[in-house]
Amino acid sequence: MNSKSKVLYENSQKCVDDVVSKVGNKIVLGIPLGLGKPNHFVNELYKKVKNNPDLDLQILSALTLEKPIPKSEIENRLMGPILKRIFGDFPELEYLIDLRKNRLPANVTIIEFYTKAGSFLKQPHVQQNYISSNYTHVCRDIINAGINVAGQLIAKKNFGNKILYSASCNADTTLELGRCMRQEEKKGRKIAIVGQVNDNLPFMYGDAVVEQNNFDFILDNPEYNFKLFGPPRLPVSTADYIIGFYAGTLIKDGGTLQIGIGALGDALVYNLIQRHEKNDVYMSVLNGFNVNEEYGTLINSIGGLDSFDKGLYGNTEMFVEGFLHLYKRGIIKRRVYDNYSIQKLLNEDKISEKITPASFFAMVDNGLISKKLLDKDFDLLQKYGIFKDELKFEDGYIIDGLKTIQADFTKEDNISKVADSCLASHLKHGMILHGSFFIGSGDFYEDLRNLSEDESRLINMTGVEYVNHLYGSEELKRVQRKDARFINTGMKLTLSGAVVSDGLDNGIVVSG
């Protein structure tokens, strides 16, 4: 344990011992979907339970990542160097190794709500302990399952004399779960929230940023840094390109986009880039397929074929690599704001990102602020970059150095004075994407790490409770998520319009 804090640990065994000492012999561990698992902590905990039959461990998770396993000596000789290059020192989760070999101890249960598609079709333990939980409701379901330990891979960053942490790749359920576990703690449940720092993890902003006191235990030792799991990209077939081409015609400039992982999403991204950067070539291909002739009415009604002038905003459960490509190519660029009135005025083209006297008049006329300025109005105007930072507000007057302006906008002359001397240049705190979790290639992680702070702050990593829920802040979500299009794959589509992507008719779980 680090002597500077009872929260910080440099040794995984000591961290695990103290966690078990706090919560007791029955451990219900929740770890994030995909990339955000604290592998060293989990392996140490699993080893302790495996060697002690008096302990009981349930692991609640999803999409447990694993390296491909060569099935013969020849495969190993061929794949070994490739696997080493792709996955590096990524530590395998030991419970998964034992699960694959059917030697999981009796005092350990693995419960997943989402698995790698088709990877556990013949694994009885997974099939029998699978929980069919909507991602949006996972927090609720694992709280009800008795979770008392939550583990998470986290990033850290120094801000002057203060260190902050980021849930980074998995803000999805972690943020909501932390709040719910603290509520259970107040009712008497003994809990432990554990973070494991990995310096390779991109520090992501938005709601993902938390302080040290969010954790009961933080495992932080450079020896535990490991290469992030980067699944290889799947090849894009001709059929995927064609589907992506057709689907891309339904994406409306100025709208909202969600896409899933895989070849179809990659194909869509490629076609949107062609539409934006090489529109003449794009149109010639489109005309060659007679797309506009056959589907012109539909395209004109809900989609488009032109370059992306206004751009798109991303709102997506999974922040896939394609979104970053679309950002770099100037397609993902429509900023949204967490203020209903500002967003509505932007949607109606009554104001723009650039602050002008005309836009300030529009804000006053449309009730964004009171006719007689209040403290809350002034704070809002400074928060969103409408007023200059150096201005002050006292007793109904805006103070600009030695100059004062009466903030009574029932008098048009006062509005003109403010517009002439108090306005800043551009709106602040806009976001081009809300995402909940990410996983992708090594290049994707490197690109995220190389974003400037200003660029990173355009991406708000937040919980699925915000991204997935249609209820809660409905008014704001409606104006942010206008003209939304969702492009995903599934196994089949029912006649009533439901997409099936989880199980077969015999009850076997394929995915989740």
DSSP-assigned letter for residue 233: P
Buried b (16+ CB within 10 A) or exposed e, 396-423: eebebeeeebbbebeeeebbebbbeebb
CA distance 503 to 121: 10
CB contact at 8 A, 463 and 93: no
CB contact at 8 A, 52 and 106: no
Looking only at the bridges linking them, the beta strands covering 403-406 and 26-30 are unpaired
Helix (H) / strand (E) containing 1: none
CA distance 27 to 58: 6
Can you list the domains of the chain with their CATH numbers? 8-224 (3.40.1080.10), 238-336+430-438+451-500 (3.30.750.70), 340-421 (no CATH)
CA distance 96 to 103: 10
CA distance 337 to 363: 15
- DSSP lists the bridge partners of residue 209 as 166
Task: Give me the pLDDT at residue 143, please.
Answer: 96
288: buried, middle or exposed (CB in 10 Å: 19+, 13-18, 0-12)?
exposed
Task: Give me the pLDDT at residue 491, please.
Answer: 81
Residues 6+ apart with CB under 8 A from 415: 360, 361, 364, 409
CB contact at 8 A, 225 and 184: no
Task: Give me the pLDDT at residue 5, please.
Answer: 57
Task: Give me the pLDDT at residue 508, please.
Answer: 81
Nearest residue to 509 (alpha-carbon basis) of 142, 141, 132? 132
Task: Give me the pLDDT at residue 255, please.
Answer: 98
Task: Give me the pLDDT at residue 3, please.
Answer: 40
Nearest residue to 147 (alpha-carbon basis) of 111, 119, 121, 172? 111
Reading the chain (512 residues) residue by residue, the pLDDT tens digits are 544 457 999 999 999 999 999 999 999 999 999 999 999 999 999 999 999 999 999 999 998 888 887 788 888 888 888 788 888 889 999 999 999 999 999 999 999 988 877 778 888 888 888 888 888 899 999 999 999 999 999 999 999 889 999 999 999 999 999 999 999 999 999 999 999 999 999 999 999 999 999 999 999 999 999 999 988 788 999 999 999 999 999 999 999 999 988 899 999 999 999 999 999 999 999 999 999 889 999 999 999 999 999 999 999 999 999 999 999 999 999 999 999 999 999 999 999 999 999 999 999 999 999 999 999 999 999 999 999 999 999 999 999 988 999 999 998 899 899 988 999 999 999 999 999 999 999 999 999 999 999 999 999 999 999 998 878 889 999 999 999 999 988 888 888 888 877 777 777 877 76
pLDDT digits (tens, 9 = 90+) for 367-414: 999 999 999 999 999 999 999 999 999 999 999 988 999 999 998 899
pLDDT digits (tens, 9 = 90+) for 321-363: 999 999 999 999 999 999 999 999 999 999 999 999 999 999 9
